[in-house]
Amino acid sequence: MIISVIGCGYLGAVHAASMASLGHDVIGIDVDARRVEKLARGEAPFFEPGLDELLTATIATGRLRFSHDMADIAAAQVHFLAVGTPQSESGAADLRYVDAAVAAAIPYLGPGTLLVGKSTVPVGTADRLAALVAPTGAALAWNPEFLREGHAIQDTLSPDRIVYGVADGDGTTVGILDAVYADALARGVSRLVTDLRTAELVKVAANAFLATKISFINAMAEIAEKVDADVVALADAIGRDDRIGRRFLNAGVGFGGGCLPKDIRGFIARSEEVGAGEATAFLREVDRINLRRRDRIVELLAEELGELQGARIAVLGIAFKPESDDVRDSPAIDVIGRLHAAGADVVATDPRAIEAARRAHPELVVEYAATAREAMSDAGAVVLLTEWTEFRELDPVEERAVVRTPLMIDGRNVLDRERWIAAGWRVRALGRGSGAASR
């Protein structure tokens, strides 16, 4: 099948390369000419494990091309829409990129073609776009994406489920999408067909649930800190219950990235618009709990050091999660800014995200270090904010020798506390009491 993917960011570039790897002919379109040039050379414009290799391999087959000229979508039958839907000032999703991309694509749509939304949008967007597209004779579907950055290729090729939102009784569209996803369906991946509005809601509801689960355990962490209890043991114990499950119960500095924070805010805004604001009011608290964890890291440091002014603080991790260079709404960016505001000298490192942080946050006053060792040299405290394997595997004995003060704030609860304490470190972590155990 000939496919276009409009918008080649974290979602679209992976989708384009993955579809080409399945044997489809794919043209990826982006308005960012530099991004298109890079992609055409087989270079991902961001870090995603395996993506450079997949781009190079699929471009070599001749089945994957990139262009910034929308006219190049004309030969495609299925057009995936994967442009960004960032947060606007009001908190609602900003649909300007979706609207611009659809307007630019309309001249190239016609009977028998299908426009498939993958971007995360407020419920009702697809109905509005369907009306715009209808005069061309093309159909419109919504096919939300659930990929996780860091595992994006695998999640695209082998998702937990595939959801098609289609207009009432539109069996033709279902058939076309089944042909696109034939490989996954043949391997038994379940596919659910819904109306357009439900498909849009499935995505924001899934993210709202995940965000709630994280904030739930972080709320328990706040209580555990007050009463000298241990949130990690608590998560292990409640997580054994199948109805609860242990995943997404890791207390720490909380969620960030280009999806969860903006999607819950967009969901709140849209719920209010449709007269159901009370139904998602709890998500405001989910958001607040999440942001409080960032304050708590700074508080913990202040508790330990007494004075942040002039303190040299090493921050390990800048990306919002490991195996990614995505710094959008990353807790670490926020914490670095707060530490600087409190007078600290911050030196930060990340295996992949330094360049992205420099580009996206030129305002940050921070020294970047190439390695954890360099960042920790002479540090008065170390804060772990992204759980990269190389940080989890640091040797507390060796690192003890380079820091000025062996104080570790484990913002992700991933270090082997006993080992660090045995090596002479004082360890504080979120949701693990006053740290008495480490005294």
Token reading at 207: 């993210």
Interaction between residue 16 and ligand NAD (CB under 6 A): no
Whole-number Å distance between alpha carbons of 342 and 334: 12
Interaction between residue 200 and ligand NAD (CB under 6 A): no
Whole-number Å distance between alpha carbons of 326 and 314: 20
Interaction between residue 31 and ligand NAD (CB under 6 A): yes
Interaction between residue 97 and ligand NAD (CB under 6 A): yes
For ligand NAD, the binding residue among 3, 5, 8, 268 (CB under 6 A) is 8
Q: In what order do the strands lie in the sheet with 367-368?
A: 367-368, 345-349, 312-316, 381-384, 407-410, 426-429
Question: Is the Cβ–Cβ distance between 149 and 14 less than 8 Å?
Answer: no
* 144-152, 245-253, 268-276, 368-376 -> range binding ligand NAD (CB under 6 A): 144-152
The one-character DSSP state at 404 is: S
Candidate list 140, 259, 354, 421, residue with the active-site label? 259
- Tell me the CA end-to-end span of the chain in Å, nearest whole number: 64
Shortest approach of ligand NAD to residue 45 CB, angstroms?
7
Q: Considering the complex, state which of residue 14 and residue 409 has its C-beta at the smaller distance from ligand NAD.
A: 14
For ligand NAD, the binding residue among 165, 254, 258, 351 (CB under 6 A) is 258
Q: Considering the complex, state which of residue 162 and residue 366 has its C-beta at the smaller distance from ligand NAD.
A: 162
Interaction between residue 10 and ligand NAD (CB under 6 A): yes
Shortest approach of ligand NAD to residue 178 CB, angstroms?
21
Q: Considering the complex, state which of residue 27 and residue 339 has its C-beta at the smaller distance from ligand NAD.
A: 27
Whole-number Å distance between alpha carbons of 347 and 368: 6
Interaction between residue 323 and ligand NAD (CB under 6 A): no
Of all residues in the shown chain, the one whose CB is closest to ligand NAD is: 9
Question: Is the Cβ–Cβ distance between 228 and 438 less than 8 Å?
Answer: no
Tell me the per-residue interface mask from 259 to 298 with ligand NAD, x by CB under 6 A, - otherwise.
x---------------------------------------
Q: How far is CA 138 from CA 79, 145, 184, 403, in A?
A: 10, 22, 25, 63
- CB burial of residue 195 (10 Å; 0-12, 13-18, 19+): middle
Amino acid identity of residue 357, one-letter, is A
Shortest approach of ligand NAD to residue 86 CB, angstroms?
7
SS3 call for 316: strand
Shortest approach of ligand NAD to residue 35 CB, angstroms?
5
Interaction between residue 85 and ligand NAD (CB under 6 A): yes
Q: Considering the complex, state which of residue 75 and residue 401 has its C-beta at the smaller distance from ligand NAD.
A: 75
Give the binding-site size for ligand NAD (rule: CB under 6 A): 27
* 24-32, 55-63, 274-282, 301-309 -> range binding ligand NAD (CB under 6 A): 24-32
Task: Give the torsion sign (CA, 380, 383, 389, 393).
Answer: positive
Token reading at 30: 């982006």
Interaction between residue 12 and ligand NAD (CB under 6 A): yes
CB atoms within 10 A of CB 408: 30
Interaction between residue 147 and ligand NAD (CB under 6 A): yes
Whole-number Å distance between alpha carbons of 236 and 212: 18
Whole-number Å distance between alpha carbons of 151 and 352: 15
Q: Considering the complex, state which of residue 48 and residue 170 has its C-beta at the smaller distance from ligand NAD.
A: 48
Per the annotation, the verdict on 259 as an active-site residue is: yes
Give ∠ CA 168-171-175 in degrees, rounded to 5: 140
Q: Which residues are known catalytic residues?
A: 259
Residues binding ligand NAD (CB under 6 A) = 6-12, 29-32, 35, 82-85, 97, 100-101, 104, 119-120, 145, 147, 149, 258-259
